[in-house]
Amino acid sequence: MAMSFDAYMRDMVQPMRDELTRIGVQELRTPEEVQEQLEDAKGTALLVINSVCGCAAGQCRPGVAKALQGEAKPDHLFTVFAGQDKEATAKAREYIDYPPSSPSIALFKDGELVHFIQRHQIEDRSADMIAADLTEAFEKYCR
């Protein structure tokens, strides 16, 4: 029996999801989960809008992982997957006052967006540069 396209895509995308969840980032798969977690998050919350593109694999996810090895870290770690969990991603974007961009990385403090890295700031930078950017934001907002 042939595998459906959706099942095939889920299988292909799972390792991209695992790259973040195995380092403690919680997936938000529904609009309700996004609303519940982001609206009630006290302290700092990191939201990674994950995607299948090459810059997510080469720069974004590795940059996030490296930044999370530092001393200052957000209180909450979340991710939505653009193109996969479409409704959850759309809900997450309601909290970000920037045009839709994936991958991208948002840092909130007490529900307020305080730092945002858009796709164009990921594509042309290395994972180390993204990690340095995030580490600086963590030092400023997560202490």
Residue positions annotated with a catalytic role: 53, 55
Q: Output 33-40 pairs: Cβ under 8 A, ≥24 positions apart.
A: 33/88, 34/78, 34/80, 34/88, 34/91, 34/92, 35/91, 37/76, 37/78, 38/78, 38/92, 38/95, 38/108, 38/111, 39/111
Q: Could you tell me which residues come within 8 angstroms of residue 29 by beta carbon, excluding any fewer than 6 positions away?
A: 80, 85, 88
